[in-house]
Amino acid sequence: MWWFYRKGPSGFAGASTAEEVTAGTDGRGLVAVITGASSGIGRETARVLALRGVRVVMAVRDVSAGIRAKEAIQAEIPGGAEVDVLQLDLSSMASVRRFADEFGSLNLPLNILINNAGVVTRHCTRSCDGLELHFATNHIGHFLLTNLLLENMKSASRNSGIQGRIVNVSSAGHIMTYPEGICFDKLHDPSGFNSFIAYGQSKLANILHSNELSRILKEEGVNISANTVHPGVIATSLFKNRTIVNALMNTVGGIISRSVEQGAATTCYVAMHPQVQGITGGYFGNCNIAKPSSQGVDAELAKELWKFSLQIVSS
C-alpha cells in the first residue's frame, strides 16, 4: 500500500481526502451542479464544495434522499450552506431536459459541472428511451445534460472571467471493453450481453466525451475545461446489484479500496484546485495527471462517439 501514500507532482496522493486537496480554496460566488449527489462520493463532493463556499445544486434521482443529504450537509457546516435539490433521472432524456429547465428557472450562473452519477446492473436492461441502461445513464444522460447547460457555462465564464470546469467521473483508464473500444452496432443488441463490457463501454465513453468536448471548446476559444477523473476503488452502493462483486468488495474492500472522503478527492481537486487552471482534456487519478488506455485517447473514436451521441439526443 506504499503507493497509496506516495505523493505525486501535485503534492497529493491516493490517501489524500477531498477536504485536504481543497484546503485554502475559496468557492464563494461559484455555482456547481453535481449529479448523483445524494450518496457516496457525489454526496462527499457536494459537502466539500459547499464547505468551501460553493452554491451546490444536487441533481438526484431520489429527491427525498437528496433532501436528507442536503439537511445533513447544512447542519454540519457552520453558518449553513447554499444547497438546492433538483430531481434528475439520467436514464430519461425527458428528465434531463426538465432538470435543465428547472435549473434555468433558478437564474443562476454555472461555473462547475460534475458528471458523477453512475449505474451498474446485472442484466440487459433498457432505458425508457430504449437504450442499453449503462450507456443511457452513464454517458447519454450526461452528454445531453452537458450540452443543455453549456451555454450557461459559457456565459458565466465570459461574465466572470473565471474558467468553467466540467468534470466527468469515469473509471480506470484500462477498462474491459470490446477490442475496438465502443462497439456501436452492439449497443442495441441484447444477444451476448455482458454487464462488465456494457459498464466499461459507458465509462470509456465518459473519457472520450471529455476529450472531444475539450477539443471543441478549445477550437471555439471558450474558457471552459473538460477533464476526466478516476476516483479509485471505493466501497459504495454502486455495485449493490452485482452480487459477486459486492461480496468481493465487502471481503477485501478494506484492503484495496479507499474511503469516500479519499474517493471524492480527485473530483474536488480537478473541480477547484488552482493547479488545474488551464488544463483540459486531461485524465486524473490520485489527484495527479494519469494515463488512460489507448482507447481513451483515440481521437477518431471520440469524434465518432460524439456524432453518434448527437444523433441519439436529437432523435
SS3 content of the chain, % helix, strand, coil (to 5): 50, 15, 35
Which residue range(s) make up the domain with 93? 2-314
Tell me what percent of the residues of the chain surpass a pLDDT of 70. Answer: 90
Listed range (30-34, 145-149, 195-199, 227-231) with the worst mean pLDDT: 195-199
pLDDT at 231 over 50: yes
* H-assigned helices in the chain: 2-5, 18-21, 40-51, 63-76, 93-105, 133-134, 141-160, 195-220, 243-256, 260-263, 265-272, 299-314
pLDDT at 114 over 80: yes
**What pLDDT, in 10s, does the model give residues 148-180?**
999 999 999 999 999 999 999 997 556 778 877
Rounded Cα distance between 55 and 284, Å, is 24
Q: How far is CA 21 from CA 254, 272, 276, in A?
A: 22, 9, 12
Q: How far is CA 103 from CA 100, 135, 270, in A?
A: 5, 24, 23
pLDDT at 18 over 60: yes
Catalytic residue among 5, 199, 269, 283: 199
Rounded Cα distance between 304 and 284, Å, is 23
**Residue count (the chain):** 315
Q: How far is CA 62 from CA 66, 168, 225, 234, 257, in A?
A: 6, 21, 29, 22, 26
pLDDT at 215 over 90: yes
**What pLDDT, in 10s, does the model give residues 56-74?**
999 999 999 999 999 999 9
SS3 236: coil
Average pLDDT over residues 240-250: 48
Query: What's the angle, vertex CA 169, arms to CA 303 and CA 8, rounded to 5?
Result: 105
pLDDT at 295: 92
Q: Active site includes 199? A: yes
pTM, rounded to two decimals: 0.92
Total domains in the chain come to 1
pLDDT at 255 over 60: no
SS3 230: strand
- What is the CATH number for 34? 3.40.50.720
